[in-house]
Chain A
Amino acid sequence: MNRQQAEIQLQRLFGFSSFHDLQWKVIENLMAGRRVLFIEKTGFGKSLCFQFPATQLDGVTIVFSPLIALMRDQVRSMQKKGIRAAAINSNQEPDENRAIIEKASQNKIDILYIAPERMENAAWITAARQMKIAMVVIDEAHCISMWGQSFRPNYRRIVDLVRFLPTNFPVLATTATATPRVEEDILRQVGGQLIPIRGQLMRNNLRLFVVQVASEDEKFYWLARYIPSFRKTGIVYTGTQVETDVFSNWLQFLGINSAAYSARLDSDSRVRVESDFIASRFDCVVSTNALGMGIDKPDIRFIIHTQVPQSPIHYYQEIGRAGRDGEESFVVLLYNPETDDTLPRAFIDGSKPAAATYQRVIKATKRALMGRNEIIRATNLKQTTVGIILADLVEQGILNVQQQGASKKYFYNPDAPELDYSAFDRLRDAQTAELERMLEYTEIQSCRMEYLCDYLGDAHSGNCGVCDNDRREFMKVQPDESIKLKLQEFRETFFPLLEVETQRSNIVNGVAASYYGVSNVGAALRHSKYEGGGDFPDWLLRLCLKAFRKHYGNLRFDVLLYVPPTESGNLVRNFAEKISKTLGVPLSHDLIKSAPTSPQKMFQSGITKKENVQGKFTLQDTRIVRGKRVLLFDDIFDSGVTIKEIGLYLTNQGAEMIAPLVIARTVGGDI
Chain B
Amino acid sequence: MNANTENAYWMAIAHLSGLTTERTNQLLSVILKEKGLLLSEYFTLSSSERQEIFPLQPKEAAAMDKVQEDFPRLAFLAEQLHNEGYRLIPINSPDFPAALKSNLKVKSCPPLLYAKGKIELLHGEAVAIVGSRKAGNAALAFTDKVAAKCASEGKVVVSGYAKGVDQQAMDSALAAGGKSIIVLPQGILTFQSGFKKHYEAIVNGKLLVISTFFPKAGWEVGLAMARNAYIYGQATEIYAAESDSKGGTWEGVMDGLKRQRKIYVRQPLKGEKNANDRLIAMGAFAVDQEGNPVQSPTVYQKETVSNVEILSEEKQEFQAGKTDMLHEVLRLLQSGPLTAKELILALKMPDWDVRKLGAALKKNPQVRVVNGKPVKFARNDSILHLPV
Interface residues of A (CB under 8 A from B): 119, 125, 128-133, 157, 160-161, 163-169, 191, 366-369, 396-397, 400-404, 411-415
* B1 and A129 within 8 A (CB): no
* A169 and B72 within 8 A (CB): yes
* A157 and B202 within 8 A (CB): no
Cβ-closest chain B residue relative to A136: B72
Question: Separation in Å of the A91 CB from the closest CB of chain B?
Answer: 24
B96 in the interface (beta carbon within 8 A)? no
Q: Give which listed residue, B69, B71, B72, B84, contacts A411 with CB less than 8 A.
A: B84
Question: Separation in Å of the A218 CB from the closest CB of chain B?
Answer: 50
- The CA of A172 and the CA of B226, in the complex, are separated in Å by 43
Q: Give which listed residue, A128, A169, A401, A402, contacts B195 with CB less than 8 A.
A: A402
Cβ-closest chain B residue relative to A134: B72
Cβ-closest chain A residue relative to B192: A404
* A157 and B83 within 8 A (CB): yes
Residues on B with C-beta less than 8 A from A368 are: 199-200
Question: Separation in Å of the A513 CB from the closest CB of chain B?
Answer: 49
Cβ-closest chain A residue relative to B40: A167
- The CA of A164 and the CA of B80, in the complex, are separated in Å by 11
Given contacts A165-B71, A169-B71, A400-B84, contact A415 B44 (CB under 8 A): no
- The CA of A46 and the CA of B279, in the complex, are separated in Å by 72
Cβ-closest chain A residue relative to B117: A414
Residues on B with C-beta less than 8 A from A164 are: 3, 5, 7-8, 74-76, 78-79, 82
Question: Separation in Å of the B31 CB from the closest CB of chain A?
Answer: 16
- The CA of A191 and the CA of B72, in the complex, are separated in Å by 17
Residues on B with C-beta less than 8 A from A396 are: 1
Interface 1/0 per residue, B45-72 and A, CB below 8 Å: 0000000000000000000000011011
Given contacts A160-B3, A366-B203, A366-B204, contact A413 B76 (CB under 8 A): no
Give the top 9 A-B pairs by smallest Cβ distance, nearest first: A400-B85, A397-B1, A164-B75, A133-B72, A164-B78, A414-B118, A161-B79, A129-B73, A165-B75
Given contacts A166-B40, A368-B200, A414-B204, contact A157 B79 (CB under 8 A): yes
Residues on A with C-beta less than 8 A from B202 are: 414
Residues on A with C-beta less than 8 A from B387 are: none
* B72 and A369 within 8 A (CB): no
B330 in the interface (beta carbon within 8 A)? no
- 24 A-B pairs within 8 Å (CB atoms) are namely A125-B80, A132-B72, A157-B79, A160-B3, A160-B79, A160-B82, A161-B76, A164-B5, A164-B74, A164-B76, A164-B78, A164-B82, A165-B8, A166-B40, A166-B44, A166-B75, A168-B44, A169-B71, A366-B203, A369-B196, A396-B1, A400-B85, A401-B84, A414-B117
Question: Separation in Å of the B45 CB from the closest CB of chain A?
Answer: 11
Residues on B with C-beta less than 8 A from A130 are: 73
- The CA of A166 and the CA of B118, in the complex, are separated in Å by 29
Most buried by B among A161, A191, A403, A414: A414
Residues on A with C-beta less than 8 A from B73 are: 128-131, 133
- The CA of A396 and the CA of B85, in the complex, are separated in Å by 12
Q: What number of A-B contacts does a CB cutoff of 8 Å give? A: 95
Residues on A with C-beta less than 8 A from B83 are: 157, 160, 400-401
* A129 and B77 within 8 A (CB): yes
* A413 and B44 within 8 A (CB): no
Question: Separation in Å of the A101 CB from the closest CB of chain B?
Answer: 13
Most buried by A among B44, B68, B83: B83
- The CA of A164 and the CA of B69, in the complex, are separated in Å by 14
B318 in the interface (beta carbon within 8 A)? no
Question: Separation in Å of the B60 CB from the closest CB of chain A?
Answer: 20
Interface of B is mostly: helix
* A402 and B85 within 8 A (CB): yes
Question: Separation in Å of the B66 CB from the closest CB of chain A?
Answer: 13
B119 in the interface (beta carbon within 8 A)? yes
Interface 1/0 per residue, B188-209 and A, CB below 8 Å: 0000100110011011110000
Chain B stretch 229-280: residues in CB contact (< 8 A) with chain A: none
Question: Separation in Å of the A590 CB from the closest CB of chain B?
Answer: 46
Cβ-closest chain A residue relative to B78: A164
- The CA of A337 and the CA of B372, in the complex, are separated in Å by 93
- The CA of A401 and the CA of B80, in the complex, are separated in Å by 9
Most buried by B among A161, A169, A366, A397: A161
Cβ-closest chain A residue relative to B207: A414
- The CA of A296 and the CA of B76, in the complex, are separated in Å by 30
- The CA of A129 and the CA of B8, in the complex, are separated in Å by 12
Cβ-closest chain B residue relative to A191: B5
- The CA of A160 and the CA of B75, in the complex, are separated in Å by 9
Cβ-closest chain A residue relative to B199: A369
- The CA of A157 and the CA of B196, in the complex, are separated in Å by 23
- The CA of A119 and the CA of B83, in the complex, are separated in Å by 10
Question: Separation in Å of the B381 CB from the closest CB of chain A?
Answer: 58
Given contacts A169-B72, A414-B203, contact A163 B5 (CB under 8 A): yes
* A166 and B8 within 8 A (CB): yes
Residues on B with C-beta less than 8 A from A415 are: 87, 118-120
Given contacts A169-B72, A366-B204, contact A411 B79 (CB under 8 A): no
Residues on B with C-beta less than 8 A from A367 are: 200
Residues on A with C-beta less than 8 A from B200 are: 366-368
Residues on B with C-beta less than 8 A from A413 are: 85
9 more CB-based (< 8 A) A-B contacts, given A129-B77, A402-B195: A125-B76, A163-B3, A164-B75, A164-B76, A167-B40, A168-B44, A169-B72, A401-B83, A402-B85
- The CA of A125 and the CA of B40, in the complex, are separated in Å by 23
Residues on B with C-beta less than 8 A from A369 are: 195-196, 199
Q: Give which listed residue, B72, B118, B195, contacts A165 with CB less than 8 A.
A: B72
- The CA of A559 and the CA of B117, in the complex, are separated in Å by 62
* B205 and A414 within 8 A (CB): yes
Chain B stretch 7-47: residues in CB contact (< 8 A) with chain A: 7-8, 40, 43-44
Question: Separation in Å of the B79 CB from the closest CB of chain A?
Answer: 4
Residues on B with C-beta less than 8 A from A403 are: 80, 84
- The CA of A125 and the CA of B77, in the complex, are separated in Å by 8
- The CA of A369 and the CA of B198, in the complex, are separated in Å by 10
- The CA of A164 and the CA of B2, in the complex, are separated in Å by 11
- The CA of A402 and the CA of B196, in the complex, are separated in Å by 11
- The CA of A367 and the CA of B202, in the complex, are separated in Å by 11
Residues on A with C-beta less than 8 A from B120 are: 415
* B69 and A132 within 8 A (CB): yes
Residues on B with C-beta less than 8 A from A119 are: 79
- The CA of A132 and the CA of B68, in the complex, are separated in Å by 11
Residues on A with C-beta less than 8 A from B69 are: 132
Interface 1/0 per residue, B159-193 and A, CB below 8 Å: 00000000000000000000000000000000010
- The CA of A536 and the CA of B69, in the complex, are separated in Å by 74
Question: Separation in Å of the B104 CB from the closest CB of chain A?
Answer: 25
- The CA of A160 and the CA of B77, in the complex, are separated in Å by 11
Residues on B with C-beta less than 8 A from A160 are: 3, 79, 82-83
Residues on A with C-beta less than 8 A from B117 are: 414
- The CA of A168 and the CA of B73, in the complex, are separated in Å by 15
Residues on A with C-beta less than 8 A from B77 are: 129
* A411 and B195 within 8 A (CB): yes
Most buried by A among B8, B79, B84, B196: B79
Question: Separation in Å of the B23 CB from the closest CB of chain A?
Answer: 23
Most buried by B among A131, A132, A133, A160: A160
Question: Separation in Å of the B94 CB from the closest CB of chain A?
Answer: 14
Residues on A with C-beta less than 8 A from B5 are: 163-164, 191
- The CA of A18 and the CA of B11, in the complex, are separated in Å by 43
Question: Separation in Å of the A148 CB from the closest CB of chain B?
Answer: 19
* B44 and A167 within 8 A (CB): yes
Question: Separation in Å of the A293 CB from the closest CB of chain B?
Answer: 24
Question: Separation in Å of the B189 CB from the closest CB of chain A?
Answer: 10
Question: Separation in Å of the A144 CB from the closest CB of chain B?
Answer: 14
- The CA of A549 and the CA of B258, in the complex, are separated in Å by 93
Residues on B with C-beta less than 8 A from A133 are: 72-73
Residues on B with C-beta less than 8 A from A163 are: 3, 5
* B76 and A128 within 8 A (CB): yes
Residues on A with C-beta less than 8 A from B1 are: 396-397
* B204 and A402 within 8 A (CB): no
Question: Separation in Å of the B187 CB from the closest CB of chain A?
Answer: 13
